[in-house]
Amino acid sequence: MKITIFGVGYVGLVQAAVFADTGHQVICVDVDETRVENLKKGIIPIYEPGLTSLVKDNHAARRLEFTTDAKAGVAHGDIQFIAVGTPADEGGSADVQNVLAVAETIAMHMTGPKIVINKSTVPVGTAEKVKAKISEVLENRNVLIDFSIVSNPEFLKEGSAVQDCRRPDRIIVGTDNVDAANILRELYAPMNRNHERMIVMDIKSAELTKYAANCMLATKISFMNEMANLAEALGADIEAVRHGIGSDERIGYHFIYPGCGYGGSCFPKDVQALVRTAESIGYDAKILNSVEAVNHRQKQRLFEKISRHFGNKLEGKTFALWGLSFKPNTDDMRDAPSRVLMEALWNAGARVQAYDPEAMAECERIYGHRDDLVLMSSQDDVLQGADALVIVTEWQHFKVLDFEGVKQKLNQPVIFDGRNLFEPEKMQQHGFTYYSIGRA
């Protein structure tokens, strides 16, 4: 099939590369000329395991092209994907201006029937706005061209997006057009072989499914962090509690790990957006408001522990940070707990020495050069001369500790572990003062 994808951000680029790898002819359209030229050279703007080689190989095979020419993109694909960003506006609602701008562009240039598929995360009712926008432009052009609107939300996890795209656990298709549904079934056939993964529903339900999924996962995280805070205050061990409740198959072990809060491009934005949608129809979404409030509070927990340990006297102290990205296997620092912690430490007069396997460039882009932040080339280097180690992201190679080496480099053997990577008893045996989440 000939496919056009508007937007070469995280979702659009991964989806385009996987479609091309299955044999489809894909053109990606973006307004960012520098990004487009870099992609042609094989320079990938994000870190995602397996993505770089996938893009390079399929671009070399001429199955994957990049352009800023919207007219050429519309002419190429019978299927037009909208995969542009929907950032939160000042009130927390998802801003769909970019989505509607692409819809207008498609309508301006289309000369034959198109299936317009919305891949962006958008509020319920956006498909109706897209349809109205295309109809308006076609009417102004005084042309009558058939088109279908489909909602096809993505469910990619940063760090495993390529695999998720190749083997999705579900393919949500929202449409009232049987022909469009059948074409999408053919489009996704290579990802739908082992068992039926495609779920066809009405458009509004598809739009809500995306938000409901992310909000449910965020709820599990905030619930577990709430339990962790209770466990800590009551003298219980949240890790024992986690095993106890996770063994119930109705609950399961996924997304019940306590920590220092969730971040990234999806959960914070989507929870806020669904809350604003609820408010727009006069509904008080009490659970979602609580999920957001608990997460905001949880991001303060590490700083509170650090401040308490040092008697609220942090000025002139140096802290070693392991992990900047909001989760492992990505360089994404959007709404990352590390940002909340570093900014609190700086405000208290402390200095940060940080290391992350992938997010160093992103950190420098966000904060620039400053005297109270030093980005170092290894996890060992950041320890030298630091007053404590703070673990913020659970990268795999942070999970094995050279106890004596760490003690020798730190000014004092103090560790604040925001991801519960180690056992308190073992840390005590090795002579560390060790703080974790939800364990007395």
CA separation for the pair 278, 204 (Å, rounded): 14
Residue 268 near residue 281 (C-beta atoms within 8 A): no
Instruction: Give the C-alpha separation, 367 to 26, whole Å.
Output: 36
CB atoms within 10 A of CB 281: 7
Active site residue 215: no
| Cα gap 13→32, rounded to integer Å | 13
Task: Please state at what angle helix 301-309 crosses helix 337-347, rounded to 10 degrees.
Answer: 40
Cα 282 to Cα 87, 122, 275, 278, 285, distances in angstroms: 23, 19, 11, 6, 9
Q: Where are the beta strands (DSSP E) in 154-304?
A: 171-174, 198-201
Q: Which of 28, 165, 260, 266 does the annotation list as catalytic?
A: 266
95 in Cβ contact with 88 (< 8 Å): yes
Measured CA to CA, the distance from residue 199 to residue 44 in angstroms comes to 32
CA distances to 151, 280, 307, 355, 401 from 412, rounded to whole Å, are 55, 52, 15, 19, 16
Catalytic residues: 266
